[in-house]
Structure 1
Amino acid sequence: MKKFECLYEGTAQQGNPTLLNEIYTELYITESESGEISNEHEVRQIETQSRRAATEDTPIKCSDIFKPLPGQDKPIRTVLTKGVAGIGKTVSVQKFILDWAEEKENQDVQLIFPLPFREINLMKDETLSLSELLHVFFHESKEIEISSDKYKVLFIFDGLDECRLPLNFHQNEILRDQTKETSVDVLLTNLIVGNLLPSALIWITSRPAAADLVPSECVHRVTEVRGFNDPQKEEYFRKRISDQSLANTIISHLKLSRSLYIMCHIPVFCWISATVLEKMLSEAETGEIPKTLTQMYTHFLILQTNIKHEKDYEQNVTDEDMILKLGKLAFQQLVKGNVIFYEEDLRECGIDVTEASVYSGLCTQIFREEFGLYQKKVFCFVHLSIQEHLAALYVHLFYKNNSSQVFSREFSDLSMFLKYTLSDVHQRAVDEALESKNGHLDLFLRFLLGLSVESHQILLQGLRTLTRGNFHSNEKTIEYIKEKIRIIDSPEKSINLFHCLNELGDRSVVEEMQQFLKSGKLCEAKLSCSQWLHDCGITDGGCAALTSALKSNPSHLRELDLTDNKLGDLGVNRLSDGLKDPHCNLEILKLRHCGVTDEGCAALASALRSNPSPLRQLNLSINDLGDKGVTLLCAGLKHPHCQLEILKLSRCGVTDEGCAALTSALRSNPEHLRELSLFANNFSDSAVKMLRELKNEYKLETRM
């Protein structure tokens, strides 16, 4: 209780502690629609979540994650909770443990062992038994016989994304004896799988991109922490800032910038924004109030270095040394995909442990030094986005100062590097970001480009000796990005490039699109897929124009996402008419939460029977289809022309009758379908058993 009752917002050991129960707001946690793992950059995921209606998901209280939902009778042993950095996963763990310690919740559990991966990493080369491992972290466990059924035990593994163990689930030896000495990796994999202590509960938290390190068959429930919804954002600022007039001013300012307001889904970003804006709006500060991410983070960095000078720390630790060394660490580890660092990582960047302690004291709210249960030091930036900002600043400053090479594959030595312009560096960074499969350089790119704007150059001069050289025109970079937008076929990457243009202060492409949309010539246009975004207020009228495009000769469109638009059955009927056309080549159609009922299902079934049907994926989740709609849809699934491979019908009001229709359709035409999502429908045990038999018989991936 003593360890978990206080929360240090933004800092590890310094600052005044705040009682967690006084400020805790129940975060929005949902049971994930599936165990699917997202490799997108987390800012992309936040932007997607911001467009998702709260009513689409069933929230779960943190204290109830091991309790079955109504209609679920299968016991839950292992829970994987995913969520982007800073969204509140660790705070949720802290609240769970505190409620348990205060005897408020989960009193059927007798023992809880919290084992953060950042601390387990420190023992990755050790050979010991499970009992010995627990004794290292919890000395009191030596007298407890946890292998018996006398105790119900919960192990909490926080921060799977920080794990540096191989986690060889499929190669590691099977271990059932908790007294046998082996590697820590073997102990963890056997504990999670259930070979060791099969009655123990397991809770794992992770950022989304690392969640697939644990095989899906080992996980009984996947939950997701969504952070703050819009009312909770405002509640946070009104709690955080005592002057309510100032709090309202800050909220109004953030709402003016969509990119900033979206980021406020992350509690840590709310704290960063509050820190910066409270000072700038309450004092006679000069300069422009931050309107972009880069401006916000640069102001935050300057604020922290000013705090250092106010505290009069050692003069031999200069701003330049501190920021460049931290920036080098941030950049090198970002490229490697690491967010937790150890002493060897620091030494590679010229930072010794003594310096690290000083830096931690200077910039507690940027860089943290922590002592784990194992009493060894680990280091991290307060949030991934701070690491990305410092990494971008490092690259920008090294180029501006002609100090070093950064992109070594392009610039093999310093003399070659000096031949390139800043535009060349920017273009190389754009290419690197576009080549990244998971978008892990997207936010880094936005920061890098934003730092080159003239207003930022003036702002950076406040960091003493950091910035030298002349201002630079970004026209070549802007044109390069516009060209990439025209040719790339990834909507997410296109969106990030639009954000990059915004950071550079260029709105010409957005203005062109706005003028085009106002012209009423949508059906005549040849738009790239990056220009079709879901949740656009499209109704059945817009579907008529889309249908015309699908019938064009030939139609090049392969994927259409109309999620969260009010199409209704009339709109779906029109789209289905386009799907039947022999010139239509659409393969992926997403109609999630579009107001579709059984009438729309009948039209789609007719399209699936067309000769031939190109459609491979169909998402109808969160529509009121009911058994009648699913039965009508199955008439299309049975047809030999149907080529559908993935069908998603989560939260569609399907019961056993619809399940029977799906079973019949699969048995009559099982050749193509390989994935079926039926999450959150009301099936009986017998229906679930029937679907599992189909899954095994046809090697079908079924999610329920």
Structure 2
Amino acid sequence: MTVLEEITHTGDNLVEQIVLDKHGPNLSTEIKEIQRLHKNHLWKKNQLLVENKPPGSTFEKQSFNIFERYVKVVVISRNERKLEPKNELTTVGTQHEKYMYEKRTAQECILNNKLFRWCGQLGCEPHTVMVRGVPGVGKTTLMQKFVCDWVNRKLYQRFSFIFFFKFRKLNQLHKVNLEMLILQEYPHLENHLDIILQNPEELLFIFDGLDESVHQMDFWSNKLLSNVKQVDSLDLIVVSLVKQSLLPGCYVLMTSRPTKLASIGTGVFQRVFEIMGFFSKEREIYFQSFFENKEISDTIFKYVKENATLYTFCYLPSYCWIICTVLSRSFQTTSSDQQVTLLPRTVTQLFAIFVANILSNHSLDKSDAQKILQSIGWMAQHGVMNHKIIFDERDLGSFNVDTSSQLLSSFLNETDQPPNVNFSFLHLTVQEFFAALVHYMDFNQEKLQKSLKDAQHYDDNRGEIFLRFLCGLSDVSTGSILKRYLGALSTRTSEIIIEWLHKTIHETWRENEYKDDNRKLLSAFVYLFETRNTSLVLQSLGSHKSFDFSYVPLTPLDCSVFPFILESCIETEKLNLESCSIQNEGLGRLSRALHTIRDLSLRNNSLKDGDVHLICSVLSQPNCKIQRLCLSRCNLTDSSCSQLACPISKSPSLRTLDLSDNRLEGSRFRDLMTALSSPTCRIEELILSCDGRQMDTSSIQLASNISKNHSLRKLNLCGSKLVGPLFAELMDALSSPSCRIQELILKDTGLTDGACTRLAMVIGNTQCLRKLDLSYNNLAGPHFGDLMAALSSPTCGIEELQLESIRLTDEYVSSLLLLKKSKNLKYLDLNRNYIGDNKTRQIREEMNELQKYFVAKALANNYNLNGRVYGTGIHWNFTM
């Protein structure tokens, strides 16, 4: 949507809205005073950002003014109305990388003051808005900032009153009416609430954390409320506000995790936005604000940026806090030798160190620590398997959690006051870590086997992170991080997990033989990465030399897994990453180990010229094994040619280079062609197919260099429009005695029968050409006979000829019969030509004669013959 569209559709109302948002509606003196009291109340409740103190001398929470510490998160608009039930953390990385790319190309990020902006699809301003985001991405903080900006007159003064509710706190409410709901949180409004509710268009209701609500919201229910004094269930009040039957004209802003929305749908909300978290700059700002010492901040951020796994998770503010918490201790309190063992390499190690740091600050013996962690571990396990993240005192009691333990507050957040106290883990992933850890602390084979089975088969993939941690804790070095505080972890659990993982990988391979779904195999790669078990990788994957992940979206975190797998496998013949949504950050993660592949395809990924340097660094490695490299459809321009020139001219291994369907035409294309003619260049096959574009003067540079290249054997220009003098230049080059081209593909290059004469000259002048593909050109015409004569010459060495869909008709059959004189022609493709439409006896006899000749030749020489002549009833298809 553009500003011009908004002005066109809203007219004078736009000016009124701008004025209203700046100055607010006219209120009586009495209501203004109540508004002032209300804003003061909201300011006191929301002005501080509370952050846990890193494990150290104290565990007291720190508070910061929201305007001083707030780091902007990226919010974008979502258009889809249906959400698939997938694991949030493992899928959001793909979207995050996509929008990082789109931001570089002017993708608009939504600011707080644009959440209720006029929408072109609706043709009006939305009244119901959903902001979704994965756990820890900053939904609550964003709402807190929204409220504080309103209080300080920075946005949306059109709202006379904002009512901010958290579902976590509303869980204790059951039968209430709207007035009771408001007054419970804002009792200072009691004497004026009737007047305030008379203008619903000036009211905004914010409900934070739909996924934390114990109430079942049925947004498609026909039962709705219209009276603010009518007592009913809390869920019905919320639904009635959203559907505008209660206080019609009011505004509702709600937040939720995506998994919750997948079960209820988003169609009821007029606009849906998503918080994408931190982009690169915001991540750095967060680290700078966390550490007072800039030198330490820079050192830690540099380490994190070089660690693919940690840096990828930094799009989540909550992960930034956990990472900073862990690394602040590692970098500030240990010697350089100790840092090597304390610095995390996997997500499992990150959380193991996080827990170890906390335990180190408590003078508990191992049995006490084990007891409390086992109890909260089984509670965490129950929560993960049952989609539960909010616990009450009854839950703690049923799992024998000692609420008097000082350690409890280090892992659980406590909200509200007795008797309605709620508990939740610091982060959902902390809960998932404890759910996995308890199986290593309190081994029970039956429980473990059930958890493995359940976690693997949940449709919403809720168990995926849990499974990662189970695999990660099987690593001896990871378990040793906690050994000092918890004792040795169960070796039997490790054995079962390794057996389960090995079996899972083999079953996945068998499944993939029958269906095109590599997401399970990718998950197995991640599990293997967490184990750090190279012998298990070899045992599970060593017999497989080819991996195909085409069309599987790969997050940067996924990409960071591949180097460990590929390096552990030692030798991989082929890796297909076509259409995997790989961009700059993901490619950077992959590049460390791509030199180990012989056949690498990165076709149709969202790369750019600025990313080519990563490919060049791979090709430039002295031990690079890449023989075939496909960079087709990667948005490259001629700027990338200069970068590629040096490595392809010097690479001792590279034999095939596919740069098709990029826009390489331009002045720098010359650099690539010059490199191609270098004596050190070993490239044998060059693919420069274009999607229907006309080759400009770049074909002249191509022509002038292919005749100088002594290694080039195959040239593919499929789809590149060759016309006029550019075609003549190419033909001259191919006719050169120094040209070594054996296979020439000119399929769909816009050739007409006028080109047949020049092609005939090339065939007559070269002894090297063995395969020629002229399919999908309009070659039918008076010069077609020249081409057939050249092909039937005794000196012609062509063995395979592709003439599919060249618009042949009956009148050219006599020219085709010349091919009977060919000495070397073994393969002829005449598919999609319409010879014999008239079904005359002469044509049938002539085509039968040609068919008999090639059939006899196929039988005599034991080679393939594959041809079809439409209209005659004759179909050739022989494989000898």
* TM superposition score category, shorter chain reference: 0.5 to 0.7
The structure 1 residue matched to 2:447, chosen from 390, 393, 406, is: 406
CA contact (8 A) 2:505 2:521 kept: no
Structure 2 residue aligned with 1:434 = 456
Structure 1 residues 369 and 325 mapped into 2: Cα distance closer, same or farther (>3 Å)?
same
Structure 1 residues 233 and 316 mapped into 2: Cα distance closer, same or farther (>3 Å)?
closer
Tell me the secondary structure at the aligned position of residue 479 of structure 1.
Answer: helix
Structure 1 residue aligned with 2:635 = 566
User: Any residues of structure 2 matched to 1:162-561 within 5 Å, and which?
Assistant: 162-171=212-221, 173-212=223-262, 214-284=264-334, 286=338, 287-309=341-363, 318-351=368-401, 355-356=402-403, 358-359=404-405, 361-371=406-416, 376-399=420-443, 405-407=446-448, 409=450, 429=452, 431-465=453-487, 467=489, 476-486=499-509, 487-488=511-512, 489-506=516-533, 508=537, 509=541, 510=562, 514=566, 533-535=580-582
Structure 1 residues 297 and 470 mapped into 2: Cα distance closer, same or farther (>3 Å)?
same
Tell me the secondary structure at the aligned position of residue 272 of structure 1.
Answer: helix
Post-superposition Cα deviations, 1:591-616, rounded to whole Å, max 9, x if no partner, equal xxxxx99979xx9xxxxxxxxxxxxx
Post-superposition Cα deviations, 1:258-281, rounded to whole Å, max 9, x if no partner, equal 222111111111111111111112
Structure 1 residues 236 and 541 mapped into 2: Cα distance closer, same or farther (>3 Å)?
closer
AA aligned to 1:5 is Q
Q: How far apart, in 2, do the equivalents of 1:197 and 1:141 lie?
A: 17
User: Any residues of structure 2 matched to 1:114-193 within 5 Å, and which?
Assistant: 114-123=164-173, 126-143=174-191, 144-145=193-194, 146-149=196-199, 152-171=202-221, 173-193=223-243
Q: Structure 1 residue 175: deviation in Å? A: 1.5
AA aligned to 2:110 is I
CA contact (8 A) 2:377 2:435 kept: yes
Structure 1 residues 475 and 157 mapped into 2: Cα distance closer, same or farther (>3 Å)?
closer
Structure 1 residues 293 and 238 mapped into 2: Cα distance closer, same or farther (>3 Å)?
same
Post-superposition Cα deviations, 1:12-68, rounded to whole Å, max 9, x if no partner, equal 994231111101122101111323324211221232134324252320112321122
Post-superposition Cα deviations, 1:476-510, rounded to whole Å, max 9, x if no partner, equal 45533432442355444333221111111145455
Q: How far apart, in 2, do the equivalents of 1:598 and 1:113 lie?
A: 58
- When normalised by structure 2's length, the TM-score is 0.54
Structure 1 residues 406 and 518 mapped into 2: Cα distance closer, same or farther (>3 Å)?
closer
Q: How far apart, in 1, do the equivalents of 2:419 and 2:123 lie?
A: 42
Which deviates more from structure 2 when the two are superposed, residues 239-248 or residues 188-197? 239-248
AA aligned to 1:440 is R
CA contact (8 A) 1:90 1:158 kept: yes
Structure 1 residues 565 and 491 mapped into 2: Cα distance closer, same or farther (>3 Å)?
farther
CA contact (8 A) 2:176 2:231 kept: yes
Q: Structure 1 residue 542: deviation in Å? A: 6.3
Post-superposition Cα deviations, 1:299-342, rounded to whole Å, max 9, x if no partner, equal 10111122233xx8xx8992112111111111101111011112
Post-superposition Cα deviations, 1:330-364, rounded to whole Å, max 9, x if no partner, equal 1101111011112222222123xxx33x34x4343
Post-superposition Cα deviations, 1:184-236, rounded to whole Å, max 9, x if no partner, equal 22212111111101111101100111124555332111000011111211221
Q: How far apart, in 2, do the equivalents of 1:202 and 1:50 lie?
A: 26
CA contact (8 A) 1:534 1:563 kept: no
CA contact (8 A) 1:82 1:225 kept: yes
Structure 1 residue aligned with 2:118 = 68
Identity of aligned residues (%): 23
Tell me the secondary structure at the aligned position of residue 506 of structure 2.
Answer: helix
Tell me the secondary structure at the aligned position of residue 528 of structure 2.
Answer: helix
Structure 1 residues 543 and 331 mapped into 2: Cα distance closer, same or farther (>3 Å)?
closer
CA contact (8 A) 1:305 1:363 kept: no
Tell me the secondary structure at the aligned position of residue 46 of structure 2.
Answer: coil
Post-superposition Cα deviations, 1:623-649, rounded to whole Å, max 9, x if no partner, equal xxxxxxxxxxxxxxxxxxxxxxxxxxx
AA aligned to 1:344 is R
Structure 1 residues 467 and 392 mapped into 2: Cα distance closer, same or farther (>3 Å)?
same
Superposition CA RMSD, Å: 3.8
Structure 2 residue aligned with 1:44 = 90
Tell me the secondary structure at the aligned position of residue 44 of structure 2.
Answer: coil
CA contact (8 A) 1:11 1:365 kept: no
Q: Structure 1 residue 137: deviation in Å? A: 2.1
Q: How far apart, in 2, do the equivalents of 1:391 and 1:183 lie?
A: 33
Q: How far apart, in 2, do the equivalents of 1:269 and 1:345 lie?
A: 26
AA aligned to 1:497 is A
Structure 1 residues 50 and 149 mapped into 2: Cα distance closer, same or farther (>3 Å)?
closer
- When normalised by structure 1's length, the TM-score is 0.67
Q: Structure 1 residue 69: deviation in Å? A: 5.9
Structure 1 residues 269 and 365 mapped into 2: Cα distance closer, same or farther (>3 Å)?
farther
Q: Structure 1 residue 376: deviation in Å? A: 2.6
Q: How far apart, in 2, do the equivalents of 1:263 and 1:512 lie?
A: 18
Q: Which structure carries more relative contact order (alpha carbon 8 Å, separation 6+)?
A: 1
Structure 2 residue aligned with 1:701 = none
AA aligned to 1:394 is V
Which deviates more from structure 2 when the two are superposed, residues 202-211 or residues 98-107? 98-107
- Higher Rg of the two aligned structures: 2
Structure 1 residues 226 and 53 mapped into 2: Cα distance closer, same or farther (>3 Å)?
closer
Tell me the secondary structure at the aligned position of residue 292 of structure 2.
Answer: coil
AA aligned to 1:434 is Q
Gaps of 5+ in 1: 410-427, 545-561, 574-595, 604-704
Tell me the secondary structure at the aligned position of residue 442 of structure 2.
Answer: helix
CA contact (8 A) 2:412 2:425 kept: yes
Q: How far apart, in 2, do the equivalents of 1:341 and 1:11 lie?
A: 23
The structure 1 residue matched to 2:155, chosen from 105, 109, 112, is: 105
CA contact (8 A) 1:10 1:268 kept: no
Q: How far apart, in 1, do the equivalents of 2:520 and 2:231 lie?
A: 48
Q: How far apart, in 2, do the equivalents of 1:39 and 1:494 lie?
A: 19
Post-superposition Cα deviations, 1:431-489, rounded to whole Å, max 9, x if no partner, equal 54432222111111111111111112322212244646689557645533432442355
CA contact (8 A) 1:46 1:262 kept: no
The structure 2 residue matched to 1:32, chosen from 60, 66, 78, is: 78
Count matched residues.
523
